[in-house]
Chain A
């Protein structure tokens, strides 16, 4: 079975790389990017199954990135990673649909559960 392709988008490089490594240890094909441009580049060349997106980033916000990605990858799944979720963001997120969210710091088990659920797998670890 092909491993799930996960793209982590977060301007906190340390966070993104470490999380990617941990996910890779758990069998996911995880990559980390730190800005919107890289995100779009990877999303176009090697479209991931799921996007782990930080909502608060300098420049483009997480939601804007999400909408842009959705234009060329309409079926991409999304989990929002956030310090806390603002109500407007929540409402907006629901409007865009197909999203879940997790508050940072994340519990790795919780995260993998949500990823598996989002991409429609029982479990990837095993």
Chain B
């Protein structure tokens, strides 16, 4: 994640805050809902009250059955409908549109039923009047006595009482009694035509009454339904309120719990998240102070510590580079110093050798001449007993003088020149020349000579005679080291990158140099060769010359496999001044 520190801080603070706000908002929403639901309950209760009012008027209407009470009932229903229409669409939708449509439908039904009932009641009253009229006539007829004996006045009066009871009570008992009376009256009809209208009107009344009863039942059903709907709605809203009220403390509790647990957690995480990169930097500085400059700050976050880590690393890069170049300079200085010491040693050794050689050379020359003179004189004189023996002895002295001469001449080769005269030398042709000097030896030993030359080598500015000397000594040794075999001379640059130093290697397949004496071969007077054959000066002179030219010489060898000498020569002679 690539976050800035303040982003991280915001996250650390925001998440607990978010939880708290969420809890608050939830609680607020619930409480608001509860308030709303309370409004709904009120509305439902209001409606129920009105419905009850309607029912009360319904009872009055049913009791009085007159137009006045019917009108009152109607106004009440109208009022209910009017109140219903004032309820806003939104409220209706929230409480449940189907409840309202059911309510409205039921009101309409109720209204229609009340109308029907009213109509029935009106018919009833007409019919009642008729029954009373017919009853009175039948009564009068019975009293008149113009009728058959079967129709007694008492029976008619009894019947009229039953009629009145029925009209008053309208219950099953009075109806049953009336039906019984009517049945008896019907039996009298063949004897009394005057009975018919009364019976008919009674029958009609009964049916009307029954119809009214049914209508009333229906009306009451509708009224009950109205009550039920409002009750149901109120109950439901109350239930919702209850469930909300139960939920709210739980939400609050949950929020508090979340805050108590997640809050510290997030704050801790954020803090460590911010501090971690800085801590890492601190660790690195510790390691660096212990000397490990290769340490680098790991760049993980892309916050403000990113640029800190970057500049930190850049600083470290510089520091390391400086450190490295410093170490390099020190190393270079050390090498130069070693070279100087080496050269100094060599120079003083050289001076010493030259001094000794000079001192020895003159007496040697005298010995040489004196011996020669003796040889001359004896050679010219007549034979005498020990002449030949003397001559042989003189030859031995001459040989020894010659051996000394070789040594002194080589030592005098050390003699330091004040300057390196600079010639332009092509190393390949120089090597050809040198091998040319040794042609005879190479030929007699049937040694194969291989040149492995690189063509476009830069010319060397150096002293030709000295360079010749260098390679002459090495190649002479190679020839000495074998009977037959191969000498391979390779030239090239020391490295691909720079064209400053030329590398010449001279490989032979001779007897090799044992590991333990490899360190000695450059020392003056070190030789493994037979007395009279080696002076032990070749490689020491070569070494001195190469060093003086600013070059280097090294050897790799394995016994019975061969030897390779590596000579590095700078293209520009950088004389080590001593």
Contacts and interface: CB of A to CB of B under 8 A. Distances in A.
**A, B from the same assembly:** yes
A26 B380 CA distance: 11
A87 B423 CA distance: 14
A86 interface: yes
A55 B315 CA distance: 67
Contact of B362 (A15, A19, A26): A15
B251 interface: no
Given A22-B369, A22-B372, A106-B368, A12 B362 contact: yes
A104 B418 CA distance: 23
Interface in A2-19: 12, 14-15, 18-19
A42 interface: no
Given A15-B369, A22-B369, A83 B362 contact: yes
Interface string B158-172: 000000000000000
Interface in B250-267: none
Contacts of B418: 88
A105 B413 contact: no
A86 B357 contact: no
A104 B362 contact: yes
Interface residues of B, number: 27
A81 B367 CA distance: 16
A105 B364 CA distance: 6
Interface in A31-53: none
B373 interface: yes
B415 interface: yes
Size category of the binding interface on chain A = 20 to 34
B365 interface: yes
Given A15-B362, A105-B405, A83 B369 contact: no
Interface in A45-76: 56
B417 interface: yes
Nearest to A11: B362
Given A83-B358, A83-B408, A106 B365 contact: yes
B376 interface: yes
Interface string A97-116: 00000011110100000000
Q: Which 7 A-B pairs have the closest CB atoms?
A: A84-B412, A105-B368, A18-B369, A105-B365, A104-B365, A83-B361, A14-B366
Contacts of A15: 362, 365-366, 369
Interface string B413-428: 1010110010000000
A83 B412 contact: yes
Given A12-B362, A12-B366, A15-B369, A84 B376 contact: no
Interface in B366-390: 366-370, 372-373, 376-377, 380
Contacts of A56: 358
Contacts of B415: 84, 86
A6 B370 CA distance: 19
Given A83-B358, A86-B417, A87-B421, A105 B412 contact: no
A29 interface: no
A119 interface: no
Contacts of B465: 87
A105 B421 contact: no
Contacts of A104: 361-362, 364-365
Contact of B373 (A22, A83, A103, A106): A22
Contacts of A108: 372
Contacts of B358: 56, 83
B365 to A, nearest CB: 4
Given A12-B366, A15-B365, A22-B369, A105 B417 contact: no
Given A83-B357, A83-B412, A105 B376 contact: no
Contacts of B366: 12, 14-15, 18
A19 B365 CA distance: 10
B373 A18 contact: yes
Contacts of A19: 369
Given A12-B366, A14-B366, A105 B361 contact: yes
Nearest to A16: B369
A88 B380 CA distance: 42
Contacts of B364: 104-105
Q: Among B358, B366, B412, B417, find the residue whose CB has the most chain A CB atoms closer than 10 A.
A: B366
A92 to B, nearest CB: 13
A93 to B, nearest CB: 15
B409 interface: yes
Contact of A22 (B365, B376, B417): B376
A94 interface: no
Nearest to B416: A86
Contacts of B365: 12, 15, 104-106
A70 to B, nearest CB: 25
A25 interface: yes
A12 B370 CA distance: 13
Nearest to A21: B373
B196 interface: no
B468 to A, nearest CB: 13
Contacts of A106: 365, 368
B52 interface: no
A14 B409 contact: no
A26 B375 CA distance: 13
Contacts of A26: 376
A11 to B, nearest CB: 9
8 contacts: A15-B365, A15-B366, A18-B366, A19-B369, A25-B373, A84-B413, A104-B362, A106-B365
B521 interface: no
Given A56-B358, A84-B415, A103-B409, 5 more contacts: A15-B369, A18-B373, A83-B408, A84-B409, A87-B417
A7 B369 CA distance: 16
A26 B372 CA distance: 12
A66 B376 CA distance: 30
Interface in B206-222: none
A15 B362 CA distance: 8
A15 B421 CA distance: 34
A108 B368 CA distance: 9
